[in-house]
Amino acid sequence: MGGIDRNQQSFVYAKQKNVGTAKAAPEDAGDAWTWVAIDADSKLVPPWRIGDRSSETAIAFVDDLAKRLRNRVQITTDGHKPYLEAIEGAFGGDIDYAMLVKVYGQAPEGQRRYSPAVCTGAHKHRIEGNPDARHVSTSYVERQNLTMRMSIRRFTRLTNVFSRKLENHALSVALHYMHYNFCRIHKTLRVAPAMAAGVTDRVWDMTDIAALIAAQEAPVAKRGAYKKRAA
**4-18, 35-49, 54-68, 192-206, range with the lowest pLDDT:** 4-18
Give the chain's mean pLDDT.
88
Does residue 231 sit within a domain?
Answer: no
In a domain, 212, yes or no: yes
CATH number of the domain residue 102 falls in: 3.30.420.10
Which is nearest to 75 in space by CA: 90, 60, 53? 90
Residue 68, C-beta contacts closer than 8 angstroms, at least 6 positions apart: 46, 47
Percent of the chain past pLDDT 90, that is, above it, reads 61
User: Does a structural domain hold residue 228?
Assistant: no
In a domain, 223, yes or no: no
**What is the C-alpha to C-alpha distance for residues 127 and 209, in angstroms, rounded to an integer?**
39
For residue 231, pLDDT over 60 is answered with no
Q: Which domain holds residue 181?
A: 3-217
Confidence band, pLDDT 50/70/90 cuts, at residue 111: low
Q: Render pLDDT for 120-166 as a digit per residue (tens, 0 to 9).
A: 888 999 999 999 999 999 999 999 989 998 899 888 777 778 888 99
> In the predicted model, what is the mean pLDDT of residues 21-41?
91
CA distance 10 to 156: 8
Say how many domains are in the chain. 1
* pLDDT value, residue 59: 97
pLDDT of the residue at 120: 84
- Asked if residue 104 is part of any domain, the answer here is yes
CA distance to 20, 57, 100, per residue, from 48 (Å): 28, 11, 20
3-state secondary structure of 94: coil
Cβ count within 10 A of residue 190: 9
Does residue 196 lie in a domain region? Answer: yes
Q: Is the pLDDT of residue 227 over 60?
A: no
Q: Indicate the helix (H) or strand (E) that contains 213.
A: helix 206-217
Among candidates 71, 63, 123, 68, which has minimal Cα distance to 87?
63
